[in-house]
Amino acid sequence: MKKFIVVLIAFLTLNNIYGQNTTSRLTIIKGGSVNFHFNSYTKLDNGIETGYNNWTNLQVYFIDTTNAGAINAGANWELYIKARTAQIDGDGGNSMPLDKVEYQVTTSSGTAISGWQQLTNSDLRIVSGGANPSNTENVYISYRVGASGTNDLLNEDAGYYYVDLIFTLDVSPGGVIP
C-alpha cells in the first residue's frame, strides 16, 4: 500500500477589530496548503520534517491608544491555533489521528509556545503579545508529519489526507502562555 499525500490546508479566521481606540489585524504574509508527499518507505517510517520551516508567516498588527492617545502598555493580544476537525480526513473515507501533524512557532519579538506541538482540535494559545513600538508581530510556523518516532505512518491507510487549520486573534485575553 502506498500513501500518496498528506495535505495541510490553512484556513484562517481573520479578525479585524476596530474598537474605540484599538485596532488589530491578522494578515497572511506567506503560507497556504502544505503538501507532504510520502513516496518512500523511509518517509513513512521516519516522517517528513524538512522543507517546511517557517512555511506559514502571519503578521499581527495591534495598537491600543486608550491611554490619552499614547500606546497602552497594559494592552495584550493572543493568537490561537486549532484543527477544524477531530482527525485528519482521507479521500477514501478513512482518517488518521491529528497528532501525526506537528508544528513549531517562532516570532519576531513576542512570547511563543516553545518546541514542537501536536495538532489538536482545541484552541491552543501559540503567541501572546502586548503593545510594542512597532505595533506588529511576525509569527512563523513550521510543520512536520510523522516525525516524532511514536507517530509513524506505516500502519495508516493509503490515500490523500487533509486538515484545515484555524488561527484566531483574541485582543481581550487575560494571561500569558503557560
How does strand 160-170 pair with strand 5-10? parallel
The residue that leads in pLDDT, 5 or 63, is 63
Q: What local confidence, expressed as pLDDT, does residue 176 receive?
A: 43
The residue that leads in pLDDT, 6 or 153, is 153
Per-residue pLDDT tens over the stretch 29-43: 998 888 877 778 788
How high does pLDDT run on average in the chain?
A: 76
Q: What local confidence, expressed as pLDDT, does residue 65 receive?
A: 66
- The mean pLDDT value for 128-154 works out to 78
How does strand 56-64 pair with strand 34-37? unpaired
* HSE value, Cβ hemisphere, 13 Å, CA-based, for 29: 15
The closest of 3, 5, 6 to 163, measured between CA atoms, is: 6
Q: What local confidence, expressed as pLDDT, does residue 33 receive?
A: 82
Per-residue pLDDT tens over the stretch 9-66: 444 444 444 445 677 888 899 988 888 777 787 887 888 887 888 999 999 888 776 6
The residue that leads in pLDDT, 69 or 86, is 86
Q: pTM for this one?
A: 0.79
Q: What local confidence, expressed as pLDDT, does residue 11 receive?
A: 44
pLDDT at 91 over 80: yes
Map grid coordinates 490619552 to a residue. 68
Domain ranges of the chain: 5-170
Rounded distance between C-alpha atoms, residue 125 and residue 176, angstroms: 9
Confidence category of residue 6, pLDDT binned at 50, 70, 90: very low
The residue that leads in pLDDT, 80 or 70, is 80
Q: What local confidence, expressed as pLDDT, does residue 12 receive?
A: 45
Cell digits for 143? Answer: 510543520
Question: Are the CB atoms for 168 and 13 separated by under 8 Å?
Answer: yes
- The mean pLDDT value for 112-139 works out to 82
For 63, 78, 92, 116, 153, the CA distances from 104, given in Å and listed in that order, are 26, 16, 29, 5, 20
Cell digits for 120? Answer: 489538536
Question: Are the CB atoms for 157 and 1 separated by under 8 Å?
Answer: yes
